[in-house]
Amino acid sequence: MKTMFTMLTAACSTGSRTTADLSWWTVKGSEHRPEGSWSGNQTGALMKVVTVGRGRIGGGLAGIWSKAGHEVITLGRDGGDGSAADVVLIAVPGSAIAAALANVTGIAGKVTIDATNAYGQRSAPFASQAHEIKSIIGGPTAKSFNTNWAVIYDQIGQQRVRPSNLFAADPDARQVTEQLIVDAGFDPVYVGDLEHARMLEDHLPLIQAVASAGLGPFFYRMAGPGQL
């Protein structure tokens, strides 16, 4: 099996900023960002992330997370070794989940974030693509990043408030997923446990309709009164 790695180390452009400078940037916060101040800092423990898929989503998040200080290894369709991972991101076409994971070693039981969307036919026995992934990897699993556009990742930090990111998660995957959502520049919005993953996948036609109707790729924000 051919193994390809792309190591994206913490080539931070964060200057002298420290995590303490981000007191306005709490995990659940809705604070306004000081204009133009976001430079991609992590907000908790540094993690080793392996992305299965290194395209728009996998490669895009790898760049953001490595800038925030995390160590990221990206794997393409040829797979490779994921044993170094604290958390695994799955960002391949939904129809390629089983094939892609068959080429990745060392990830059994790892915390996993599924960013895939479903186009066309699904793998019949599974309640959602997140469940399909969990049946293969077997660790605590979350569904996130599938309702956010990769093509505007480069504009996340320019927004007046942090855009929302809807996610569902097993209890043991929730904290890590929330941190990586925050470290990508989004505000996590928890929708419930993994039984809600299918709902996030089925949200796709609405997102596409909104974009096609004229808005184009967009951010969204779900916020309580007074937090917009």
Phi-psi group of 214: left, alpha or beta (phi > 0 → left; psi -120 to 50 → alpha; rest → beta):
left
Q: Which of 127, 216, 211, 142 is nearest to 172 (CA)?
A: 142
Question: Where in 167-226 is the site for ligand NAP (CB under 6 A)?
Answer: none
What is the Cα 25 distance to its own chain's centre? 18
Smallest distance, Å, CB 204 to ligand NAP?
Answer: 8
Q: Return the range that interacts with ligand NAP (CB under 6 A); candidates 94-102, 104-112, 155-163, 170-178.
A: 94-102
Measured distance CA(168)–CA(170) in Å, rounded: 7
Report the residue from 40, 69, 82, 94 that binds ligand NAP according to the rule CB under 6 A: 94
Smallest distance, Å, CB 15 to ligand NAP?
Answer: 29
Report the residue from 22, 41, 50, 53 that binds ligand NAP according to the rule CB under 6 A: 53
If one asks whether residue 91 binds ligand NAP (CB under 6 A), the answer comes out as yes
Residue 125 CA: distances (Å) to CA of 26, 121, 122, 217:
39, 12, 9, 32
If one asks whether residue 146 binds ligand NAP (CB under 6 A), the answer comes out as yes
Q: Which of 87, 94, 181 is nearest to 137 (CA)?
A: 87
In the complex, the residues that contact ligand NAP under the rule CB under 6 A are 53-58, 76-77, 91-94, 96, 99-100, 115-117, 146, 149-151
